[in-house]
Amino acid sequence: MAVRRLIRAHPALAYFALLISWSYLFWQALFAALPLDPQQGPTPLHILLGGLGASPSLFGILLAYVTGGKAGLRILFSRLALHRAKPRWYMAALLLFPGLNLAVYLFYNRLGGRPHAIDSALLAFAILGGSMSSLLEEFGWRGFALPQLQQRHNGLLSALLVGLAWGLWHLGLNRNMQAAGDPLANLLLSAWGPLGLTAISLIMAWVYNSSRNSLLLMLLLHFGLTSSFFVFGPPASSPPSEFLKFHLIADAVLWSVVGVILAFGGARRLTLDSSFPLSKGGENL
> Per residue in 161-207, pLDDT tens?
999 999 999 888 777 666 545 566 666 667 777 889 999 999 999 99
Q: Tell me the residue range of the domain where 235 lies.
A: 2-264
Domain membership of residue 258 (yes or no) is yes
Domain membership of residue 282 (yes or no) is no
Domain membership of residue 27 (yes or no) is yes
Domain membership of residue 273 (yes or no) is no
DSSP, collapsed to helix, strand or coil, labels residue 37 as: strand
- Domain count for the chain, please give it: 1
pLDDT of residue 274: 58
Q: What is the pLDDT of residues 194-241, one digit of tens each?
A: 889 999 999 999 999 998 899 999 999 999 999 999 999 988 777 778
d(CA 207, CA 55): 23
Domain membership of residue 279 (yes or no) is no
Domain membership of residue 283 (yes or no) is no
DSSP letter (8 states) at residue 141: I
Phi-psi category of residue 41: left, alpha or beta, with phi > 0 → left and psi -120 to 50 → alpha: left
pLDDT of residue 282: 39
> Global pTM?
0.89
d(CA 44, CA 42): 7
Domain membership of residue 284 (yes or no) is no
pLDDT of residue 178: 61
pLDDT of residue 40: 67
**Beta carbons within 10 angstroms of residue 131's beta carbon:** 15
d(CA 13, CA 6): 10
| pLDDT tens-place values along the chain, 285 residues long | 677 788 888 999 999 999 999 999 999 999 889 887 766 667 778 888 888 899 999 999 999 999 999 999 999 999 998 777 888 999 999 999 999 999 999 999 998 887 777 889 999 999 999 999 999 999 999 999 999 999 999 999 999 999 999 999 988 877 766 654 556 666 666 777 788 999 999 999 999 999 889 999 999 999 999 999 999 998 877 777 888 889 899 999 999 999 999 988 666 667 766 556 665 433 433
Partner residues linked to 41 by β-bridges = 37
Domain membership of residue 157 (yes or no) is yes
pLDDT of residue 85: 81
